Amino acid sequence: MRQPRPVAWAVSRWSTDPWSRGAWTGLLLGGTGADRARLAAPVSDRLVLAGEGVHPTRPAMVHGAYESGLAAAGHLLAAGRPGELVTVVGAGVAGLAAARELRRHGRRVRVMEARGRVGGRVHTVDLGGVAADLGAAWLQQYPGNSLAALARAWDLPTVATDFANPLTLSASGPVHGAPEALDALSAAAHVLTATVDRPVADVIAAHAATLDAPARRLLAYAVEAGVVLESGLDLRLASARGAFGEPGVGEGDRWLPGGLGAAVAHLAAGLDVALDRPVTDVRHDPDGVTVSGRWGALRADRAVLALPLAVLADLAVDLPAGHQAALARIGTGRAEKVLLRYPERFWPVSPGGYLWWGEDTATWCEWADLTDGLGQPILALLAAGDAAAALHHPARTDAEIVAQAHAAVIKLTAAWPGPA
């Protein structure tokens, strides 16, 4: 049977995007949640940071970014008074949350955004009349998710994804026992790091050494989707305590069929946002904060820097030594996505909308089937770490990436023997 080809597609480039420089944050060797908390603490009573990377308990999550923005606003509200001008640098979820809260409490707020759009690492794109997320997509820890509560108040529908029950396939056929292999690795990691943190790669190698050859192959498959994609970092540098200790997917996660951009639009409504205003320099003193770029300069009473940590690291801003040390212990992972819309669904259907795929070469190993939620046959293919770097290399065109992704869909379909 001849399978159809994509009729619409989109390709992410988060790692080379100058305003993100990666996907989400993870702890490097020796890093802890205390480092995130240190970054969330005010730089001064005039300046504070915000974003998913500085949330001590909900990092790498959209609602972590949202709550971080509220916390940053709270610091400045406690230090200032109504009528002050506050600059928020960055119109992602954290920046919009901060700006919204500050304005609600009587501050004049000016948001400076480097891109020509709001949302930051939330980017809902059009696939021939259907909206889908090319960046952040899931509302994780849904039952207690503060942003999800707002989505419900805004009457935005959601669809569940069962990350705990993937359909696991490889080029050699179905794979059995991958979630259990990850559970065993996690248990081993907690034992191996009981007294001292270790790189994730070392923990994986130590655990693999206790297994026979088939179990090692199963572990390698499970690591690609369950560890590499959760982290996106170089596993030789990533903290095992962080990778196996910080929260991840699998707690009632849901997504918005209209895209997370719908929630961003609600957050941004009524705010004074200046687009195409990249900030390269931040100066703060006892009397205020000046942010500047090629577009000019803006003086304000106080400021929130709601930037991805990889971007913040290159910003000309005077941070205290404690903040600088904490920043050095948090990395930003590589993760990329390809969205493919087809005229019909011809691939195997996972009950939870979630698939794992493995080949003997770099591939997109985590897939979300968005078809049931969107009413159109659409797949989201994700790759991280070295695979993301290779598959989404700047030298490769989007068309080349899509062709290879489509080939992976064909391979997955051929590998599926049908329901048992």
pLDDT score of 251: 75
CA dist list (Å): 395 to 12, 371, 389, 390, 398: 14, 31, 11, 10, 10
Q: Where are the domains of the chain?
A: 8-12+164-248+334-415, 25-130+259-332
pLDDT score of 3: 76
Beta bridge partners of 283: 290
pLDDT score of 419: 64
Are 370 and 134 in contact, with CB atoms under 8 Å apart? no
d(C-alpha 149, C-alpha 185), whole Å: 34
pLDDT score of 234: 98
pLDDT score of 250: 66
Residue 169's φ and ψ, nearest 5 degrees, are -130, 155
> In residues, how long is the chain?
420
d(C-alpha 25, C-alpha 409), whole Å: 29
Q: Which two tokens stand for residue 328?
A: 């050095």
Condensed to tens digits (0 to 9), the pLDDT of residues 238-282 reads 999 999 998 876 678 999 999 999 999 999 999 999 999 999 999
Place of tokens 């979820």: 93
Condensed to tens digits (0 to 9), the pLDDT of residues 32-89 reads 999 999 999 999 999 999 999 999 999 999 999 999 999 999 999 999 999 999 999 9
d(C-alpha 98, C-alpha 110), whole Å: 11
Residue 275's φ and ψ, nearest 5 degrees, are -85, 165
pLDDT score of 1: 54
Instruction: Give the contacts of 45 (CB within 8 A, at least 6 positions apart).
Output: 75, 76, 79, 80, 302
Candidates 158, 239, 139; CA nearest to 192 is: 239
Q: CB under 8 Å, gap of 24 or more: what pairs does 211-220 form?
A: 215/181, 218/175, 218/177, 218/178, 218/181, 219/181, 219/185
Condensed to tens digits (0 to 9), the pLDDT of residues 294-327 reads 999 999 999 999 999 999 999 999 999 999 999 9
- DSSP secondary structure letters along 124-140: EEESSS-EEESS--EE-
Residue 355's φ and ψ, nearest 5 degrees, are -135, 150
Stretch (H or E) spanning 187 = helix 178-192
Per DSSP, 198 falls in state -
pLDDT-wise least confident of 39-53, 142-156, 245-259, 368-382? 245-259
Letter for the amino acid at 21?
A: R
Letter for the amino acid at 54?
A: V
3 state DSSP class of 337: strand
Architecture of the CATH domain 8-12+164-248+334-415:
Alpha-Beta Complex (3.90)
Architecture of the CATH domain 25-130+259-332:
3-Layer(bba) Sandwich (3.50)
What is the 3 state secondary structure string of 247-302? Answer: CCCCCCCEECCCCCHHHHHHHHCCCCEECCCCCCEEEEECCEEEEEECCEEEEECE
Candidates 410, 399, 141; CA nearest to 251 is: 141
Residue 97's φ and ψ, nearest 5 degrees, are -65, -45
Q: Which two tokens stand for residue 261?
A: 């951009």
Q: Which two tokens stand for residue 51?
A: 């974003």
Per DSSP, 28 falls in state B
pLDDT-wise least confident of 105-119, 249-263, 362-376? 249-263
